[in-house]
Amino acid sequence: MVGRLGSAGVICDAKVRRAMLAVERHLFLPDSMREVAYIDRPLDIGHGQTISAPHMVAIMASMLDLSPGMRVLEVGGGSGYHAAVMAELVRPGGKVFSIERIEGLARTAKANLARSGHDDVVQVLIGDGSKGLPEEAPFDRISVAAAAPDVPEPLIEQLADGGMLLIPVGGALSQELMMIRKVGGKIIKKKVCGVMFVPLVGEHGHNV
């Protein structure tokens, strides 16, 4: 899988390649899906959610420019795969806080991360990711794996100066991956590419 993504020009960063090779995607899927675990497409993980396609995980990891010691907030943890890849990139000394609103998925992610050996770096929490995690802020990087109509203000507030936020913005049919940087207190927004993610849902079950 990693070789194919490299040949296609998706993975050009050596550290992202090493991280993707180190994380076994089948550990983050039901055993019945092992045969399709290394196909480059999103896969259903239940509860109306998906595990992102490997190419999207690689693209977001590359764009986030993660390095050892960084504190990362992930919104929409799913089964834990993306958090594990980021954990590889922030070791040693870094921390990934992964928020998942669906309790069953959060429990599964915790078990998956323990099985893959990343539970020492990733802390899984159950909650409304659109509110961020103020008690652990500020964050060097924020990665959002669900689409919102606009960027939730708490996430911008919790971004460290010099930090970066990646988030899909848009509706069900049209979304753009947005890169947001905070530089000297100034917010700089840039559209990256078209994407398709499940919607970001708040605490009362409504789309954010």
C-alpha distance from residue 92 to each of 3, 15, 88, 120, 160 (Å): 26, 14, 8, 10, 20
C-alpha distance from residue 131 to each of 4, 68, 73 (Å): 37, 26, 11
Q: For strand 139-144 and strand 122-126, is the pairing parallel, antiparallel, or unpaired?
A: unpaired
Separation between Cα atoms, residue 157 and residue 20, nearest integer Å: 30
139: its two tokens: 């964050």
150: its two tokens: 């606009």
Q: For strand 71-75 and strand 139-144, is the pairing parallel, antiparallel, or unpaired?
A: parallel
Structural element, H or E, at residue 168: strand 159-170
Give bridge partners of residue 166 from the DSSP assignment.
143, 179
Closest CA to 144 of 195, 182, 93: 195
For the beta carbon of residue 50, count every other beta carbon within 10 angstroms.
18
Which positions are catalytic? Answer: 52
Give bridge partners of residue 99 from the DSSP assignment.
75, 125
